[in-house]
């Protein structure tokens, strides 16, 4: 339903007259050496990462599966483009996250709601999919899930409403 044009204009080299000073330098894919372009998040994910504006994506994507999120404030890349290790990170993220509901700390639905909160993202109706998450999100999922698991390690009693932390 999203109307994203297939043809992405090459290298938006604009004169330096707008606010975006943060990424004057071209963003380069560390894996294939091609340039990365700023693209709307809908190009990459169908999921409603609504608060995120854009992603820096390798021009060879999807052949080269490298990308990184852009900061909301200035569209500067949050980090280098990632693909190697990203799949492993997603597995890790899924592993730790699944323990949250498999161990009974949360119900599965509550776990996904928690996940949305942890990521600071508003989900529409669908669940967030770790399998589509960027490196950045995986880090958050892993970190936050581990923190919850740690918190509940010693506590046998499960309290609800304690998570006004994230
Ligand atoms: Zn690349």
Q: Is the pTM value of this prediction over 0.75? A: no
Q: How far is the CA of 62 from the centre of ligand 1 (A)?
A: 9
91 within domain boundaries: yes
Can you give the pLDDT at residue 87? 65
Q: Residue 70: is its pLDDT beyond 70?
A: yes
> Which structural domain range is residue 127 located in?
86-154
Judged by DSSP in three states, 151 sits in helix
Determine whether 63 is exposed, middle or buried from the number of CB atoms within 10 Å of its CB (0-12, 13-18, 19+).
Answer: exposed
Q: Report d(CA 80, CA 100) in Å as an integer.
A: 30
Q: How far is the CA of 5 from the centre of ligand 1 (A)?
A: 20
Q: What is the mean pLDDT of the chain?
A: 76
Cα-based distances in Å from 135 to 33, 142, 152 = 19, 11, 26
Q: Residue 4: is its pLDDT beyond 50?
A: no
123 within domain boundaries: yes
What confidence tens digit (pLDDT) does each residue in 44-62 have? Answer: 766 655 556 788 999 999 8
Q: Report d(CA 116, CA 135) in Å as an integer.
A: 16
48 within domain boundaries: yes
73 within domain boundaries: yes
Partners of 28 in the β-ladder: 35
106 within domain boundaries: yes
7 within domain boundaries: no
Q: How far is the CA of 54 from the centre of ligand 1 (A)?
A: 17
Answer yes or no: are the C-beta atoms of 138 and 92 closer than 8 Å.
yes
Q: How far is the CA of 151 from the centre of ligand 1 (A)?
A: 39
| Mean local confidence (pLDDT), 73-79 | 82
10 within domain boundaries: no
Q: How far is the CA of 36 from the centre of ligand 1 (A)?
A: 8
Q: How many domains, the chain?
A: 2
């Amino acid at each position: 339903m999203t109307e994203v044009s297939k043809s992405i204009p090459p290298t938006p080299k604009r004169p330096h007259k707008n606010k975006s000073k943060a990424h004057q330098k071209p963003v380069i894919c560390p894996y294939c050496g091609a340039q990365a372009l700023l693209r709307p998040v809908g190009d990459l994910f169908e999921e409603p990462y609504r608060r995120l504006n854009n992603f820096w994506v390798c021009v060879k994507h999807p052949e080269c599966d490298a990308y990184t999120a852009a900061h909301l404030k200035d569209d500067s890349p949050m980090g280098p483009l990632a693909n190697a290790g990203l799949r492993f990170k997603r597995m890790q993220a899924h592993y730790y996250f699944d323990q949250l509901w498999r161990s009974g700390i949360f119900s599965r639905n509550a776990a996904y709601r928690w996940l949305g909160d942890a990521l600071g993202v508003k989900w529409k109706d669908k669940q967030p999919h770790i399998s589509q998450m960027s490196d950045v999100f995986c880090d958050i999922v892993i970190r936050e899930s581990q923190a919850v698991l740690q918190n509940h390690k010693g506590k046998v009693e499960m309290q609800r409403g304690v998570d006004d932390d994230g």
